Structure 1
Amino acid sequence: MNDTEGNVAEASPNDFPIVGSISNLGQPFRFSNVEPLCGVSVEPSRDGHVKVCTRLATTSDDPMFHKMASSFTSVVNHLSQQAGMAISLDRANTVLMVMKADDTAELWIDTAAVVLRCSLTRSVTAGMAIFAHDIADITAMTFPCVDIQSSDRVWCMFRQDWGFGLAFDFNTDGNLDLESFNTALGSLYRQLKYRHLYQTMANRAVFESLVGLGWFPFVEIIAKEFKGLADHCSAGFDVSVIEASILESFDESRMQKMMERWALKPHFANRGIILQVAVDAFNKREPIAVIKILLTEIEGVLADAYRAANDGKSAKLKDLLIFAIASAEQKSGDSDTLFFSAAFARYLTSHTFANFDPTLQTGTASSRHAVGHGAATAESYTMTRALQAILTLDQLAFYT
């Protein structure tokens, strides 16, 4: 069961389901006299010496995954035979093994409640349906109804789409860091669920092509429109057709939802009147007004957020960009989440705040410096550029 709040309520399987309650679907297989697992060898043994991995998180893209998965499956088969059980992992989706300090173990096969810790693009109340496009990021995967103690050893293998994730912590110091284990599982889930995004970000040619066109996996379009953009760039197709389709999807209703999101941020809210003018201009298909307003307000929003976090001190643009990325990583807990904070830093410096050569008239309406100095060509003030400016500002609402 997925729950963005991660609240756990006591409930028995026979209780009437109530919104927000979480319970396991069944009981685990229990084993006694289990020899503690200490790690996984990472190389062939040489003269009795071998390197052992005691903590790891990986996906089925790793060649070592299949050897480790087979090894863990053999462990389960051995335990089940000893206990006179017939257990198969062949069709399992989520397998969790918790090994206790008293040499007992619990094996959960598709029966433990699963919670994903998510950041959403909108506010929700208990009982509201959550759609894929509502998810801005996934930062952890937990088993809230399974009793996992600091003295336990754990390993988990799960299926997501067409891949698998595997994580284990054999807790050699007797003090399991459960939060790190949950975060590792969340990272694996995210990598598998959004594999196409990570592949795009890793493909330097495709990523640079997208940035050159002013696009980025902005949170607002990451679940719906971005894949089409990336596929077009990867294939070398003209993106103008899909850009037109994306523009059509940003109607007044969608723009209003973005405004509501901005209003929750103090450094956005105090610019509400100005931002509303820009959004109204977008709805009227007036790109010049949108770009002129927002490319200057982006820097102002960053400056306000910086002052709020640094006792009223000011900073230059370079430091504001560093601050924005650091804030995103602090909120998400990592640099490789769906916020893609490090990549967004490159986007801002090479696109939104790109320098230009006034003597060669290289300025376009995508650059805050060119727009601010009146050096952008008239034909570069397009609705696509206007939308990209809006999405850039919106991205910062998740970062700061």
Structure 2
Amino acid sequence: MNEELKKIYNYRRLDKVEIDGITISSAIKGERVKLSQRAFITSYEDGFDTIANQFCSLLSLSSASLNKCLVIIHEDNSADLYFNPPMTQIVNLKTATKKGDVITKKDIFDISEVFFKDSITDLTPQEVDKIIFIFREGFRFGIFYDFTKKNNIASLNKEIGNCYKKLHFYEQISFLREEECFDNITADGWFPFIALISSEFSEIIHLYQSEKEASKRNYFLEELFAKKFDSNKILSLTNNWWQKEQFSAKKKFIEAGINCFLEGNYISCLSTLYPIIEGIVGIDYFNQNGRKPKFKELVEYIQEKADIKYSCPNSLAYPREFYDYLNKVVFKNFNLETGDVDLSRHSVLHGYASEEDFNMTRSLQLILTLDQINFYL
């Protein structure tokens, strides 16, 4: 690497760095102790400060000014440090794009891989190298380390991508990791829809954390989304749909339902769009399998398509969770004897849904459900 590139990547070399693991339990001399050789830890976890300070001491780093540092330790224990390493991310975007387009964080809904290379330099570690990667996202820090000297480069890129994702989307991931939180939002008809990730979903999280009374929470959410999802926002979603043949074939029906939403006619909106979901997915299934699907097969087909398309670890497209959402919310059965008649495809099409359930929130949730399916197909 020439001197100019060393300046660009803020390069420094250490002649000797010896480290083979980090103890994760205490022991007196002679006792057995647990040793970690490969892990990812964030600044939200216990023990982070201890590990970070140990690395800073080992590598002669200043923690006060540290934002990012890639450390590659070679077989001879010499180490290359890059404080501005080249990085390329493989991400999923909410909208179509072309080469050279400017992208913001709000355009990204998932991160699947991170490479330590750019058009000039490739810093991909070798199989026998040890790695320390310290990085910052906002006020959050993460440290990934691997001292095993058994790097699988393909899986390493995905693992670093998963680490970056955990920090970038920390608020969302930590909230939804709690099963009760996920159940609470789906009980109200919400889901981490792709269209909301990196934008409105953070406001949903804050409301569920701060407001425990459902009626007040739903009122604030309706106020929020009434302002955010105006005609321009809705049309920005649907314009992406027409690129898929499955959606463009139903364009007149979909536009009729969308127009009803924009006019505040939620009864007509929901009555029009609920059967469209079945039609879009059912025709796609028929074209693939040569027969009409049973209802269970219809929902399973959506999940299968999503699993194939979003196969990266811990995908924020949430394919399997969406399968549950469809069964528990969109296609939920009703029971007249018990009075369990929530708004769903079945209660609407059979005429049992309550008039009060035909509202802006439920209509928007159905539009976002269609948008989610558009990403999966």
TM-score interval (norm. to shorter): 0.7 to 0.9
Cα deviation per residue 1:190-249 (whole Å; 9 max; x = unaligned)?
222322222331344443332222112211123222222332233225121331331232
Q: Residues 193-342 of structure 1 correspond to what in structure 2 (within 5 A)?
A: 193-234=168-209, 235-237=211-213, 238=216, 239-307=218-286, 311-312=289-290, 315-334=293-312, 336-342=314-320
- The answer to whether the aligner puts 1:39 opposite 2:21 as a matched pair is yes
Output the CA distance in 2 between the equivalents of 1:296 and 1:24: 60
* Structure 1 residue 311 displacement after superposition: 4.7
Mapped partners of 1:71, 1:293: distance in 2: 61
Q: How far, CA to CA, are the matches of 2:292 and 2:24 in structure 1?
A: 50
SS at match of 1:63: coil
- Residue 159 in structure 1 maps to residue 136 in structure 2: yes
Secondary structure (helix, strand or coil) at the match of 2:159 reads helix
For residues 320-352 of structure 1, give each alpha carbon's deviation from its aligned partner in whole angstroms, at most 9, with x where no partner exists: 333433443443334633223333233222111
Does structure 1 residue 29 correspond to structure 2 residue 8? no
Task: Summarize the Cα distance change of 1:362–1:66 in structure 2 as closer, same or farther, 3 Å threshold.
Answer: same
Unmatched 5+ stretches in structure 1: 1-11, 15-22, 78-86
- Rounded to whole Å, the distance in 2 between the matches of 1:291 and 1:256 is 17
Please point out which of 166, 172, 184 is paired with 2:159: 184
Equivalent-residue separation in structure 2 for 1:314 and 1:40 (angstroms) = 57
Q: Is the 8 A contact 1:335 1:341 kept in 2?
A: no
Q: 1:358 corresponds to which residue? A: 336
Offset, 1:385: 1.1
SS in 1 for 2:371: helix
3-state DSSP class of the match of 2:270? helix
Percent sequence identity over aligned pairs: 26
User: Measured at CA, do residues 270 and 153 of structure 1 come closer, stay the same or move farther in structure 2, by a change above 3 Å?
Assistant: farther
Change (3 A) 1:386 1:340: same
Residue 376 (structure 2) pairs with residue 394 (structure 1):
no
TM-score, normalising length: structure 1: 0.81
Match of 2:49 in 1: 66
CA shift at 1:290, angstroms?
1.9
CA contact (8 A) 1:140 1:182 kept: yes
Structure 1 position 33, deviation (Å): 4.8
Q: Hey, what's the Cα distance between the residues in 2 that align with 1:54 and 1:60?
A: 19
When residues 305 and 140 of structure 1 are mapped into structure 2, their CA distance, relative to the original with a 3 A threshold, is farther
- How large is the RMSD of aligned CA atoms in angstroms? 2.9
Question: Shift of residue 360 of structure 1?
Answer: 4.3
- Note the C-alpha offset of 1:34: 4.5
Tell me what 2:87 maps to: 114
Instruction: Give the letter for the 1:208 counterpart.
Output: D
1:45/1:321 CA distance change after superposition, 3 Å: farther
* Distance in 2 (alpha carbons) for counterparts of 1:390 and 1:220: 10
Q: 1:71 to 1:307 in 2, by over 3 A?
A: farther
1:373 is aligned to 2:350: yes
Q: Distance in 2 between matches of 1:67 and 1:118?
A: 32
Of the structure 1 ranges 347-356 and 126-135, higher mean CA displacement relative to structure 2 is found in: 126-135
Alignment correspondent of 1:18? none
Q: Distance in 2 between matches of 1:38 and 1:126?
A: 42
Q: Which amino acid aligns with 1:283?
A: L
TM-score if structure 2 supplies the norm length?
0.86
Give, as a single letter, the amino acid of the residue that structure 2 aligns with 1:341.
P
Amino acid across the alignment from 2:8: L
- Give the letter for the 1:231 counterpart: H
* Residue 345 (1) aligns with residue 323 (2): yes
- 1:105 corresponding residue in structure 2: 79
The one-letter code of the counterpart of 1:337 is S
Q: Deviations over 1:44-95 (max 9, x none)?
A: 3574644333322222223233333233223213xxxxxxxxx534311111
**What secondary structure is seen at the aligned counterpart in 1 of 2:341?**
coil
AA aligned to 1:230 is I
